[in-house]
Amino acid sequence: MNKIDTSNLTEAQATLLMPLWARALEARQATPILRDRKAVEIVESLDFDFESFNQKGVPQADYCIRGAVLDQLVSEFLTLHPSGTVVEFGVGLDARFDRLDNGQVSWIELDLPHVIELRRKFFQTSPRRHILTGSLTDERWIAEVAALVVGPTLFIAEGVLYFLTPAQVQALIKNLVANFPRASFMFDAQSPWYLWFSNLRQPVPDAQMTFSVGDVGTLAREHLGLRVKRWGGYGDSPYYDQKLKRLGVVKRWGRRLCPPVRGLFKIIELAW
């Protein structure tokens, strides 16, 4: 079988293949943290040296835990708003819609042109699923997304904001607040110290991360009408229950023995 070329992805864009690889490996586990058979299909179809991620020590379980926790949080939104809209920024090759589709939700997936070109080889649009091209630093996507939004709206960004500057993140939040009333935005972030440490072990040199969050409250203070609806830290129950056992001893016990570790990694939901 001829495999699909990935050479048109920049080194930074190729970071989307790391969580894909992680989910594919996880799907082969007897009791996976996250079930994603689509990831297996995609990995087997791409012309890429996925073994390089293992050689570079990419934390496979961490990616899957992050994805699984976000799945739980998005599922909670769908329980409250089954006919609402989910807008997924930087969707990459994730199959979250396939994992969580309740038969009613409207789902919008946005990413850069080269990424979407690759994504369309595996995922198709439908009346409730829209695949769009756009950059979060370019406001042209706003009108296109606004025309598709139905009902209460949740914006999500997994592993995306790290690669924006703080000013770009603030501009994005400002645009969301101004153009999408009564919505919320869910994303993951690291503390400044942990981001520094993560950059030291970043396996892709051209993909250094810049955005971090120390005091979660500062995000809401930047914009009138914005509030922190909730945030969950590393190891918080019930989202991490039964998942930490997949990690090493240091990570498992660090959260229990040193509570401030909770703030190193967090998932934040802003609302307005």
Contact in structure between 19 and 90 (CB atoms under 8 Å): no
What are the Cα distances from residue 266, in Å, to 42, 194, 203, 242, 263?
A: 29, 11, 22, 18, 6
Contact in structure between 211 and 202 (CB atoms under 8 Å): no
Measured CA to CA, the distance from residue 125 to residue 148 in angstroms comes to 13
Measured CA to CA, the distance from residue 265 to residue 232 in angstroms comes to 9
Q: Which residues of 104-120 are buried (b: 16+ CB within 10 A; e: fewer)?
A: ebbbbbbbbeebbebbe
Q: Work out the average pLDDT over 53-73.
A: 93
At 13, give phi and psi (nearest 5°): -65, -30
Task: Kindly report the number of other CB atoms within 10 A of residue 232's CB atom.
Answer: 21
Condensed to tens digits (0 to 9), the pLDDT of residues 6-43 reads 888 777 777 889 999 999 999 999 899 999 999 999 99
Condensed to tens digits (0 to 9), the pLDDT of residues 142-153 reads 999 999 999 999
Domains, the chain, with CATH or none: 59-271 (3.40.50.150)
Query: According to the model, what pLDDT value does residue 149 have?
Result: 97
Query: According to the model, what pLDDT value does residue 8 have?
Result: 80
Amino acid at position 152, single letter = P
The residue with tokens 């990413």 is 111
Q: Which one, of 2, 1, 10, 8, lies nearest residue 205 by Cα?
A: 10
Return the bridge partners of 132, or none: 110
User: What is the residue-wise DSSP string for 128-150?
Assistant: TEEEEE--TTSTTHHHHHHTT--
Q: What tokens appear for 91 in the block?
A: 């969707």
Q: What is the CA radius of gyration of the chain?
A: 18
Q: Work out the average pLDDT over 190-203.
A: 86
Contact in structure between 100 and 70 (CB atoms under 8 Å): no
Half-sphere exposure (CA, 13 Å, Cβ side) for 169? 23
Q: What tokens appear for 192 in the block?
A: 């400044």
Query: According to the model, what pLDDT value does residue 119 have?
Result: 96
What percentage of the chain carries pLDDT values higher than 70? Answer: 97
The structure's pTM equals 0.94
